[in-house]
Amino acid sequence: MSRRITPVLFATLAAALLGACATQPHKAVAANEVAQAAPLPLMPLPAHIERHAGTFAFGAGTRIVVPTGDETSRHIATQLADWVRGSRGIDLAIASEPVARNAIVFAIDPSVAGSEAYVLDIDADHVRIAASDPHGLFHGAVTLWQLLASDAHKGLPAVHIEDAPRFAWRGLMLDSARHFQSVDEIKQLIDQMALAKLNTLHWHLTDDQGWRLEIKRYPKLTSIGGCRKAVGPDAALTGGANKPYCGFYTQDEARDVVRYAAERFITVVPEIETPGHAQAAIASYPEFGVTGTRPPVSTDWGVNTWLYNVDDKTFVFLENVLDEVMQVFPSTYIHVGGDEAAKDQWQASKAVQAKMHKLGLEDDEKLQGWFIARLGDYLQQHGRRLIGWDEILDGKVPASATVMSWRGTKGAVAAANQGHDVVLAASPTLYMDYLQSDAHDEQPGRPQVQGLKTVYDFDPVPDAIEPDKAKHVLGAQITVFSEYLSTPQRLQHAIFPRMAALSERTWSAKPDWNGFLARLPAQMARYRAAGIDAADSAFAVRIDAVPAAAGTARLTLGNQAGYGEIHYTIDGSEPGTSSPRYTQPVDIALPAKLRANAFVDGVALAAARARDVDALALNRRNSDQLDTCADKLVLRLEAPLPLDGPRPVYKVDIMNTCWRWKQASLDGISHIDIDVNRLPYNYQLWKDAAGVVGRPKASKAGEVEVRLDSCEGKRIATLPLAPAKNGAATLSAKLPSQTGGHDLCLLVTGKPGPFLWVIGDVQLR
Ligand code: ACM
């Protein structure tokens, strides 16, 4: 992977802007016309766009002309023709002979400077895509297709586009260990990556909860390590708690993924986790673990503590594994993990400690550094380069190691300033398992919201990197850990459209949020056409209603992006642009069936959102509308039942099962009803486990306590959990009469594990 693109192209762009445009065979349109023109539906935004008068009328007679004998160009032309057939139903023939007009000409042209760069010219007679390498031609073809795929343009607008990526690493990490994706699902993802001009698929193939790549010398890695017990919602995927969750890729399947990606100019970088996240491997071959005993393949999310030992025979194993990995994956980089290796087992092992001392290493971090460096040497001997998560910096790794910064950007800053190449995969912003809104209809995941704009605002070069070290930033990637992303729909909802934000920030020279928003509806239409279930979370209208004068509620509407005109109805009908427009809070008569949506140019930006509001609903909160009492480790978790779905989702702090309803209006309230549910507690929290809050319970099953004004305040109700011992139930209790607004604290007694009690809807009446 080459370093960040040096801005050769941009120098030529500047020259063009300063007057060299006259050399272009186009007539530039007047500045005011350009300003008024709708933005071209391009994502990511090209480095330089010059609009001209006129159009190219492409149609069934248009031909794609490729250089004679250039098979790669012909292949790209075939892909372009496939996309056009798919999106416009038009067949474009491919030719090698020059054509006088009505042609899309591909040219390999060494004067187009920069890796992956291209120039796209459209005038009335021709389209020309020029690049010095096939990857650039491919990007040019994608840009052309985005122009063709747009319904807004009857003909292709005349333009001159010069484009090149800002960064050489524009990626997506896919976790196939926690949940497994089929080869077809991965190919669909690769298609979308290619259309977003991403170029690196980092494939997380092994972890505590599953080993997913066939290794022929060690068949138990997949026969044992490829299966775990189905815990919690996994049972719905397997068909029952007694059916294990299994899956792996044969080497042929992995090669097929590599080939498919390569045809789309995407490199697949495999990850084999070491020395931690190794429980599935140790479950398969306990002799490579520290204790010699066999753990189960983990069913627990979090930090599991099973590590590889540091014996020579374990390195033989790992090197044999890497040999097969290198046979399947031709990438320069091989990812060897390195994250979250809790050192408890190494510290407790006389053999490991003896080896550490024999090697003259002062502590376990240095031992991890030695471990990783040994793998790095092995990779280097085979012409490959090591990349690892930022913990590899804690030991001493060779300068040639590339660091993937995930614990925020600190790792990237430290690594780049020390001269390591770095890739930004910063949590939480670039972690797609974080949810993109706090809406109640979001899926399970991590509720520290990382909205579309938050991702868009992420600059891959943190300010604290010294200017002369910024060249070490190879780029950035979104990271798709799949604990909660268990189905293709959930994966897609998490990835899209946030992937478009990452793609623009790693490709385009400068951010342009407003332009991005204006170009996004076209991108959302492309997702829909491709069968991609993209999230509309940024545009979905949030409906808030609070009590107003008797028999009415005050309605507040808005969306996360603050984008579009909001229209609403109160009778349950579908809102359109002729429905009342929302501009400020309004009072409505109860009961009302509210529906609302946001529109730009008459086009709905999201699915309409609905909320039925009556007097009872105003006194009801779901767990997303409650605050957790202390934000220790808040998750949105799915109930395990019903197996055939849909299953309710709860917001809960798994280290402190306590929720707060701020300023509940208690006038006239005499009862509380609380929906509860019992979920499995399948978490390994390592040192954080000491911080899990337990509270004295009055009965074996425990209870929900309602306390007034604060969590230490007067207990005004106790709701025993015993009636819910089989799972979901609605518990009810009387409340002593109060007046006015009070904070209510709702806490579960006992301590989480092996079950976790959660609360859903809370109704005051
Ligand atoms: C990581 O999220 N543990 C890389």
Verify whether ligand 1 is closer than 6 Å to residue 163 (CB atom). no
**pLDDT tens digits along 149-185:** 875 457 899 999 999 999 999 999 999 999 999 999 9
User: Which of 282, 287, 269 minimizes the C-alpha distance to 209?
Assistant: 282
Give Cα 468 distance to the centre of its chain.
Answer: 31
Could you tell me if 258 and 268 are in contact, meaning their C-beta atoms sit under 8 angstroms apart?
yes
Residues 248 and 251: their CA atoms lie apart, in Å, by 10
Average pLDDT over residues 265-291: 98
Q: Could you tell me the two tokens for 130?
A: 């020029």
Among 256, 314, 263, 249, residue whose Cα is nearest residue 286 = 314
Distance in angstroms (rounded) separating the CA atoms of residues 563 and 565: 7
Please give the structure tokens belonging to residue 223: 């026969």
Please state, in angstroms and as integers, the Cα–Cα distance from residue 261 to each residue in 79, 158, 270, following that order: 13, 31, 13
Dist. CA 218–CA 313, nearest whole Å: 14
Q: What is the pLDDT of residue 68?
A: 92
- In the block, tokens 């490729």 appear at 66
Q: What's the number of CA atoms in the CB half-sphere (13 Å) around residue 748?
A: 31
pLDDT at 111 over 50: yes
Q: Which contacts qualify for 356-364: CB closer than 8 Å, 24 or more apart?
A: 356/310
Q: Which two tokens stand for residue 605?
A: 């930006």
Q: Is the pLDDT of residue 28 over 50?
A: no
Task: Say how many Å lie between the CA of residue 192 and the centre of ligand 1.
Answer: 24
Q: Which of 162, 271, 273, 340 is catalytic?
A: 340
Contact residues for 376 (Cβ-Cβ < 8 A; gap 6+): 336, 386, 397, 398, 400, 401
Report whether 557 contacts 596 (CB < 8 A): yes
Percent over 90 (pLDDT), the chain: 91
Give me ligand 1 centre to Cα 339, in Å. 6
Q: What is the predicted pLDDT for the residue at 149?
A: 81
Confidence at 520, pLDDT banded by 50, 70, 90: very high
Q: 466 falls in which pLDDT band (50, 70, 90)?
A: very high
Picking from 101, 135, 96, 99, the residue whose alpha carbon sits closest to that of residue 115 is 135
Asked about 207 being catalytic, the answer comes back as yes
Distance CA 627, CA 645 (A): 26
Confidence band (pLDDT; 50, 70, 90) for 29?
very low
Verify whether ligand 1 is closer than 6 Å to residue 208 (CB atom). no
Q: Count how many Cα atoms sit within 13 Å of the Cα of residue 460 in the half-sphere of its side chain.
A: 33
Give dist(CA 223, CA 608) in Å, integer.
46
**Using an 8 Å Cβ cutoff, are 250 and 193 in contact?**
no
Task: Return the axis-axis angle of helices 134-149 and 71-88, rounded to nearest 10°.
Answer: 10
User: CB-based burial of residue 589 (10 Å sphere; 0-12 exposed, 13-18 middle, 19+ buried)?
Assistant: exposed
Q: Compute how many other C-beta atoms are within 10 angstroms of the C-beta atom of residue 693.
A: 16
Catalytic residue among 26, 277, 335, 742: 277
% of the chain with per-residue pLDDT over 70? 95
CA of 109 to the centre of ligand 1 (A): 42
**How far apart (Å, rounded) are the C-alpha atoms in residues 582 and 558?**
9
Question: For ligand 1, atom 2, which residue shows the shortest CA distance?
Answer: 406
What pLDDT does residue 59 have? 86
pLDDT band for 4, please (50, 70, 90 cuts): very low
Q: How many CB atoms lie within 10 A of CB 626?
A: 18
The verdict on the CB of residue 389 being under 6 Å from ligand 1 is yes
Tokens (6 digits) for 691: 């911080």
C-beta of residue 668 within 8 angstroms of C-beta of residue 736: no
How many angstroms separate the alpha carbon of residue 338 from the centre of ligand 1?
Answer: 9
Sign of the dihedral through C-alpha 92, 98, 101, 104? positive
pLDDT recorded at residue 10 = 31
Q: Is 394 a catalytic residue?
A: no
Confidence (pLDDT) at 58: 86
Across the chain, mean pLDDT equals 93
DSSP letters for 525-538: HHHHHTT-----TT
Strands 267-274 and 200-204, by their bridges, are: parallel
- 530-533 own/partner pairs: CB under 8 Å, 24+ apart: 530/188, 530/191, 530/192, 531/188, 532/188, 532/192, 532/492, 532/496, 533/488, 533/489, 533/492, 533/493, 533/496
**Which of 10-14, 711-715, 733-737 shows the lowest mean pLDDT across its residues?**
10-14
pLDDT tens, 334-362? 999 999 999 999 999 999 999 999 999 99
Average pLDDT over residues 746-756: 96
Compute φ and ψ for 505, nearest 5 degrees.
-75, -20
- pLDDT band for 266, please (50, 70, 90 cuts): very high
Over residues 115-135, mean pLDDT: 96
**Is ligand 1 within 6 A of the CB of residue 650?**
no
Taking CA atoms only, the protein residue closest to ligand 1 atom 3 is 339
CA distances from residue 236 to 49, 122, 638, 640, 682 in whole angstroms, order as listed: 50, 52, 11, 7, 16
Gap between the Cα atoms of 383 and 108, Å rounded: 29
Judge whether 737 and 665 are in contact, CB under 8 Å.
Answer: no
Neighbours of 617 (CB within 10 A): 15
Buried-exposed string 564-573: b where 16+ CB fall within 10 A, e elsewhere: bebbbbbeee
Averaged pLDDT for residues 683-688: 96
Question: How far are the Cα atoms of 327, 547, 622 from residue 555, in angstroms, in the given order?
Answer: 61, 9, 18
pLDDT at 37: 64
Helix (H, G, I), strand (E, B) or coil at 514: helix
Report pLDDT for 418. 95
Pocket test residue of 203, 277, 335, 389 for ligand 1, highest count of atoms within 8 A of CB: 389
Instruction: Answer yes or no: is pLDDT of 34 > 50.
Output: no
340 is catalytic: yes
Answer whether 434 contacts ligand 1 (Cβ < 6 A).
no
Length of the chain: 765
Most confident of 19-28, 96-105, 419-428: 419-428
Q: Do the bridges between strand 333-337 and strand 210-211 make them parallel or antiparallel, or are there none, so unpaired?
A: unpaired
Q: Where are the alpha helices (DSSP H) in 508-624?
A: 513-529, 615-618
Catalytic residue among 207, 442, 638, 705: 207
Give yes or no for a contact between 166 and 506, defined as CB atoms under 8 angstroms apart.
yes
Out of 54-63, 201-210, 425-434, 450-459, least confident range = 54-63
Q: What pLDDT sits at residue 341? A: 97
Q: What is the pLDDT of residue 151?
A: 59
Q: What is the pLDDT of residues 365-411, one digit of tens each?
A: 999 999 999 999 999 999 999 999 999 998 878 889 999 999 999 99
DSSP three-state, residue 219: coil
